[in-house]
Amino acid sequence: MMKIGLTGGIASGKSTVSAMIKDFGIPVVDADRISREVVEPGEEAYKQIVASFGSEILFDNGQINRKKLGNIVFQDADKRQMLNRIVHPQVRKSMLQKVNAYERQGEAVTVLDIPLLFESKLTEMVDKTLLVYVDAKTQLERLMNRDQSSEKEALDRIRSQMPLDEKRALVDAVIDNNGSTEETLHQLKRIFRLWHIF
């Protein structure tokens, strides 16, 4: 089974490309969704996060306030690393279980949607890497519009990730997502044909 690592940066349009891939009938294992599942109340990562960051990062119902936790870790590299050390092993374990299940079902291709593919050093999990790219100006504008965040908040979040230009040099293929959805779909199909996926 071919495993493709799909990556990008915050507000680069990776979710749009992920949805296109699902429309092709190709299974997608979503690291972001799994990272939310592993921090649900009662899960091991949840207990470690509360022990490390305190109960002030929780909503009244006990759920983690992701925005509050995000504001802490996006401004402090040490705290971000601490959070990653808690969450990433649990995410990796769950992703592997899902990938193995698709392989047992006889799937020819599975896409692993991993925003921090390089930052988390997860490239050994995949055979090919695909980057959804936008220029810095577009990324900032999209993030501010999407999250209704200030320029400083948006830049803090963007700078917490490896720059897209650096990722561009590391991947097998790039989708330039500065244009229309149709242009993005056309690029995705061309790459998949090159890789003999269809």
- DSSP string covering the chain, please? -EEEEEE--TTSSHHHHHHHHHHTT--EEEHHHHHHHTTSTTSHHHHHHHHHH-GGGB-TTS-B-HHHHHHHHTT-HHHHHHHHHHHHHHHHHHHHHHHHHHHHTT-SEEEEE-TTTTTTT-GGG-SEEEEEE--HHHHHHHHHHHHT--HHHHHHHHHTS--HHHHHTTSSEEEE-SS-HHHHHHHHHHHHHHTT--
15 is in an annotated binding site: yes
Tally the residues of the chain.
Answer: 198
Q: Is 5 annotated as a binding residue?
A: no
18 is in an annotated binding site: no
Binding residues: 11-16
Binding residues for ATP: 11-16
